[in-house]
Amino acid sequence: MKGAPIRIGTDRTMHKDGHYGIALLLMLPLTGLFGIVGFAMTVVAVAACRLPDLDHDYDWLPHRGPTHTVWFALGVGAVTCTGLYVGLLAAPISLPAWPLALLAGTTVFLGVISHLLADALTVGRGDHAVRPFYPITSASLRFGLFRSNSKVWNSTLLFGGVLGQCITIAAHYHPITL
């Protein structure tokens, strides 16, 4: 699966603001359920949501190729879980290593999945379509709602994600009673 080279002067990838916005929106239920802990998970997911675009840094990795799959998300989540588990076991204080590591790995997994979802919202076609289960199937996931370089959509997604997180955290701690 060879990606088309990204030419200077063209932008066929979603802007970081759109990726951050989708990650913030995807994590809304966890912020609502767990309050500040859910918000901390959201921060981790937002930090992880751009990992699939490391393919921009290496010519041998096609864009929206192996790093844009569920397998990559599972791998990154598993490495995070394992690394944190080992690190917490070595910590000088007693912490619930397994639950914390599993929570962190799951959060990183969700951050990477949010990236795939964000890219699927764009008008990717051909080599720029998201194929989340490649190489098992070449079926693409694409909704084609907007162009990836749309400043309006990318800004709107970021604004919506920030606003949604603010409202959700406020509602968690100050529920409205009717």
Query: What is the model's pTM?
Result: 0.86
pLDDT at 44: 97
Q: What is the rounded CA–CA span in Å between residue 163 and residue 25?
A: 9
pLDDT for position 79: 98
Give the structural domain span for 158: 16-173
Q: What is the pLDDT of residue 14?
A: 64
In a domain, 178, yes or no: no
Tokens found for residue 91: 């910590």
Say if CB 3 and CB 63 are below 8 A apart.
yes
- Total number of domains in the chain: 1
DSSP H helical ranges for 27-173: 28-34, 36-48, 70-89, 97-120, 151-173
- The closest of 14, 11, 46, 6 to 156, measured between CA atoms, is 14
In a domain, 134, yes or no: yes
Residue 74 in any domain: the answer is yes
Q: Which residues of the chain have pLDDT under 50?
A: 1-12
Residue 108 lies in a domain: yes
Residue 26 vs residues 66, 130, 174: alpha-carbon distances, Å: 22, 18, 22
Residue 11 lies in a domain: no
DSSP 108: H
Output the CA–CA distances (angstroms, integers) from residue 177 to 29, 36, 125, 171, in the order listed.
20, 21, 47, 10
Q: Is residue 161 part of a domain?
A: yes
Q: Give the pLDDT score at 105.
A: 97
In a domain, 3, yes or no: no
- What's the pLDDT score for residue 2? 47
> Is 7 inside any structural domain?
no
